[in-house]
Structure formats: structure tokens, C-alpha cells
Amino acid sequence: MAFLIRFLLRNLKGYRYLIIIIFIVTFFQVQAGLLTVFVLKDIINVVVPPNPKVAGSSTNQNPGPPFSNILNLINPVGPGQQHAVGITVTVLIATFIVLGLLDALFTYLQMFLTSFIAQNLSARLRKKLFDQLQRLSLDWHSKQKKGDLVQRITGDIANVEKLITDGLVDGLGVPLTLASAIYYMWITQWQLTVVSVVMFPALFVIILTYTRGIKAAAKRASKALGEVADVASEDVGAITVLKAFSLEDREAMRFNRYVGKSRKAGLDAAALQAQFTPIVDILVTVGTAFIIGMGGYAAATGTFPRINVTANPIVTALTS
């Protein structure tokens, strides 16, 4: 991983400022996406207010900050007074739409900039690799397989491109989303946040294990595909000789053997990838069910006090 980071930094000269811009755009995209959850929560609380008979519930229907600040600008009310339901819902829905548009805009900028970097990086690497191959001696070339070299110029560089487009987005977005989600959960209900992070170690182990397995399987699949390309290149280049000595059937069997090997390697990589997402989804579902169950039990029994976000000193300090 350290080698990969050094390799990318060395070859991303001239585009490093774009990575900083992508980081900023990703930060705002994550915030816009997470804040929509709070908007929906406030809409539900306004339209269907909490039952005062339930332990720990609150009769305050005003939305929490920063939406309450926006609402106060449009419809000022006195201390302790509540905003009209119609005006509150209208403002919250308008805020929800604006956040959705911002989320879409930031996502577009994020994907466009990462694709721009990936395309330029892959072009730069292909030029460097081709120039290096031209400088190597004929003796070195005579010992190499042509298909393997072609695979490195095309397939392996394409993998680097995919690493940038997918890895850069996930590498920035996932930690930011996780950190922001934990922060918002903490200032809202820290007890449930503590319960939530219990599943992180198991999730980390699964991700690390499958990532290593998928990486090794993808490497084997790439090597097998290079062998297929090498055999095909040899046979097409020697088609006259093959026909002259009636070797078509023998070469067809040889080619099919390498195709079968490539197929098996590709299926192994696909199987690991197919297992990875459902296992993570199952773990997240179980963790979510556990958290919702604990939260529901706490709200019904009053074990955890219901926190009024507007009265949270951290939120007040950040939004004042």
C-alpha cells in the first residue's frame, strides 16, 4: 500500500491540487447527504409529533439547528413559541430539495474530476511504459511474451485507472462519511453511538480479509489473461506455418486450455467479489437491527433520555 501511494504521488505531478479540490468537494457532498437525514427527521417530528405519554419524549416540534436558524429568519417567533406547521414543513422540504441538488452537484464534480485525473494518469503511464519498452534491448524482448507486454500496457494500466476512479472516491468518501456520521450521532445520542461502533472491528476484519483475497485473485486473473493474449498473438502471427503443417487443431486445444485457465481465475475473483458485498450487507443489517432495537427499547422504557438537539451545547456553539 505504501509503495502504491508513493507510485501515485510520483506520477500525479501537476494534478495534486485537483486531489485537494476533490477532497473539499467530497467533504461537502458527504455533509449534504447526511443533513438530508436530519431534515426528514424534523419533518416527521413536525407532522407526527412525539407522544408525550411515551417516556423520554419531547413536545418540542421545532426543528434543530441549522434548520431552526433558517426558519427563524423566515418566520421569527418568540422564545418557547412554536413555528406554524405549514411554514415549517415548507421550509424543510425546500431545504431537502436544495441539499439534494447540492449532493448531486458535488457528486458530479467529484466523479468528473476523478475521471479527469484517471484518464490523464493512464495516458501518462502508457506513454512512459511504451517509451521504456522501446529502449530495452532485443535480447530482453526475445525473452518476453508479447501478450504479457500488451496486457501490461492495456489491462494493467486500465486497473490503475479504475483504482483512481473508484479508489479515490471511496478512499475519501468512506472515511469522511464514517467520521461525519459518528459525529452527528454523538451530538444527538452518544449512548447509541457507543453501541454502534461495536460492530466496526468485525467489519474491518472482513473488509481487510476479502480485500487481500480479491487483490490476489485479480492478479492471477490478469496474468492468465496475458497468457491468453500471448498465445493468440503467437498463433495469429504464425498462421501460415500452422496451416502449412495442419496444426490448427493442436493450437486450438492449446488456446482453449489457456482460455479455461483464464476463465477459472476470473470466476475465482468474481466469486470473492460477489461474496464480499452480501457479507458486509448482512453485518450492517444485523448491526442496524441491534441499534434500532436498543434505541426503541431505550425510548420506550426511558433508559436513555431523549436528547433535544437544540439544547445540546456542542450544537449551539457550532451553529451560533
The answer to whether residue 260 scores a pLDDT higher than 80 is yes
The dihedral sign for the CA sequence 173, 175, 178, 184: negative
Taking the model in full, what pTM does it have? 0.61
166 Cβ contact partners less than 8 Å away, ≥ 6 residues apart: none
Across residues 175-202, what is the average pLDDT?
A: 75
For residues 150 and 144, the answer to whether their CB atoms sit within 8 Å is no
What distances in angstroms separate CA 240 from CA 81, 243, 251, one per listed residue? Answer: 91, 5, 13
Q: How far apart are CA 243 and CA 246, in angstroms?
A: 5
Instruction: Please report, for the chain, the start and end positions of each structural domain, with discontinuous segments joined by +.
Output: 7-189+306-320, 191-303
* Crossing angle between the packed helical segments 2-11 and 85-135, to the nearest 10 degrees: 80
Q: Give residue 77's pLDDT.
A: 63
Q: Label residue 199 by pLDDT band (50, 70, 90).
A: confident
Q: Give residue 117's pLDDT.
A: 85
The pLDDT mean for the chain works out to 76
Q: Label residue 267 by pLDDT band (50, 70, 90).
A: very high
CA quadruple 78, 80, 83, 88: dihedral, nearest 10 = 120
Q: How far apart are CA 234 and CA 257, in angstroms?
A: 15
Domain spanning 7-189+306-320: which CATH class is it, in words? mainly alpha
Residue given cell 512512459 in the structure block: 128
Q: Give residue 105's pLDDT.
A: 95
